[in-house]
A and B are shown apart, each in its own frame.
Chain A
Amino acid sequence: MNTIVLAIIIVTIVGLLGAAILVAAAKFMAVYEDPRVGEITAVLAGANCGGCGYAGCADYAKAVVEGKAPCDKCAPGGAACSAAVASIMGVGASTGVPKRAMVACSGSNDKCKQKFDYQGIESCAAAAMVSGGPSACAFGCIGKGDCVAACKFDAIHVVNGVAVVDRQKCTGCSACTVVCPKHIIFMKPLEEKPVVECSNKEKGPIVMKECTAGCIGCMLCQKNCPEGAITVTDFVASIDYDKCTGCGICTEKCPKKVIYFVDGKPKTAPNEAAPAEEKAN
């Protein structure tokens, strides 16, 4: 009986002593933490995707409170999230058109030729090191799915040898743009504006040998764009989305049909746009 009492007493004393030490420590050694850090963490998307460039949502919240990061970096949270963060921080929300990832390559297996049969490590980063990857096009998608692995939202998939973004699921965190060894994934504003789905900087005849879905740098889109929004540099067209109005003339003029709409319908529906859009999706 005595041993039981002694055991109970000793464990209780040790427990109480420990509790007292922790309570005292929490009281006297408390470190002031800005309550806004917790509030901001609560309104963020909470996916810990790292798209903002910080280690996680809590890390980003801390950076916002310390004034090191802007309020609108949380792409998965969207405009509502940046407005909530801005109101906690007491500043006006900066609004912008939301962006979605876009793979600037449409060279699927039936369109783009293969230089050799790659049987190494199943990773774009590894495949890209073997003479630039198995694809005949040195600029195009390798299709080993490094971007698929990087996506936290299941929004990007390799379909028929080329990565395709599901623009409904994509949150615009841009994690995939970082891992792509070919740097062909870019952030396109979610507007009714066309996209050039090719990154090949070779001259026209070389592109034609490599891939049937390549931009040959014919300049037709640049010449016909009423807004001057398209420029062809290094034999590949690029669209300035600040100038583009989404008229869709370029989608009609492009002889290789590598410019087309991916977000919504064009404002003035061109004849070619409908089938092209199906292809994109």
Chain B
Amino acid sequence: MANLFFIFFSMILVNNYVLVKFLGICPFLGVSKKLDSAFGMSCAVIFVMVLATAVTWPLETYILDPNGLHYLQTIVFILVIAVLVQFIEIFLHKYMVALYNSLGVYLPLITTNCCVLGVCILNFTNEYSYLEALFCAAGSGFGFMAAMVMFSGVRKRVDAANPPECFKGLPITLVAASITSLSFMGFGGIMNSIFGIAA
């Protein structure tokens, strides 16, 4: 049990996908302008990451690995995740209109996002069990949300500032992102002191 929590929290703080692994930078920079859209996007990411892991883990373990087709991982995962997200979108539109209205716009944006694919593949690099993989995916999703929500606050301040002309827009945003990322390096030792396991 402690192991699951360790994986969950280390994905949020120590191995944060956006700020430490630098995956999913496109939605991180693109959708973090407003707090509510950052939050909606993050909810969609958590949702898709967990579902994608739930589907790709059995696929890899029971179909690809026994046949020695490990190298097909990337192409098959992208295919499966794309189908899955499209299917979820149609399903939500039909049966859960309220959820569709809040998540619908963000779902196509993360169809084959690198952080979603990254979670699925890193689960095998770390040799997680099914349950561990699901916790890892949820943790990565919440880590994404933490980064997005925090950074939307940072961007609000950056927008009000008056940087030099050449820094306006994306450059100053990237500088701000790197400083936020630096602050996450400080969490490196935290998992060790809480769980007694080296991160």
Contact = CB atoms under 8 A, between A and B. Distances in A.
B160 interface: yes
Contact of A6 (B59, B69, B93): B69
A152 to B, nearest CB: 17
B129 interface: no
Contact of A15 (B67, B79, B90, B161): B79
Interface string B79-123: 110110011001101110000000000000000000000000000
B75 interface: yes
A10 interface: yes
Max count, chain A CB within 10 A of own CB: residue among B63, B86, B90: B90
A80 interface: no
Nearest to B100: A31
Contacts of A29: 90-91, 93-95
B99 to A, nearest CB: 14
Interface in B60-76: 63-64, 67-69, 72, 75-76
Q: Which of under 10, 10 to 19, 20 to 34, or 35 or more describes the interface residues of B?
A: 20 to 34
B162 A11 contact: no
A239 to B, nearest CB: 38
A25 B79 contact: no
A18 B83 contact: yes
A15 B82 CA distance: 10
B79 A10 contact: no
Most buried by B among A25, A31, A121, A122: A25
Contact of A10 (B72, B83, B91, B95): B72
A25 B69 contact: no
The A interface, classified by DSSP as helix, strand, loop or mixed, is helix
Interface string B158-172: 001110000000000
A22 B86 contact: yes
A7 interface: yes
Nearest to B92: A29
B87 A7 contact: no
A130 interface: no
Nearest to B95: A29
Given A21-B87, A29-B91, A31-B94, A6 B67 contact: yes
A220 B161 CA distance: 47
Contacts, number: 51
Interface in A54-103: none
B162 A26 contact: no
B79 to A, nearest CB: 6
Nearest to B97: A31
A15 B83 CA distance: 9
Contacts of A6: 67, 69
A7 B69 contact: yes
B76 A3 contact: no
A25 B72 contact: no
Contact of B83 (A3, A22, A31): A22
Given A3-B68, A3-B69, A11 B75 contact: yes
B67 A10 contact: yes
Contact of A22 (B64, B67, B68, B87): B87
Contacts of B95: 29
A18 B72 contact: no
Interface string A1-32: 00100110011001100110110011001110
Contacts of B91: 25, 29
Interface of B: 59, 63-64, 67-69, 72, 75-76, 79-80, 82-83, 86-87, 90-91, 93-95, 160-162
11 contacts: A3-B68, A6-B69, A10-B63, A10-B72, A11-B75, A14-B59, A14-B80, A19-B83, A22-B83, A29-B93, A31-B94
Given A11-B75, A18-B82, A29-B91, 9 more contacts: A3-B68, A7-B72, A10-B76, A11-B72, A18-B79, A22-B87, A25-B90, A31-B93, A126-B160
Interface of A: 3, 6-7, 10-11, 14-15, 18-19, 21-22, 25-26, 29-31, 121-122, 126
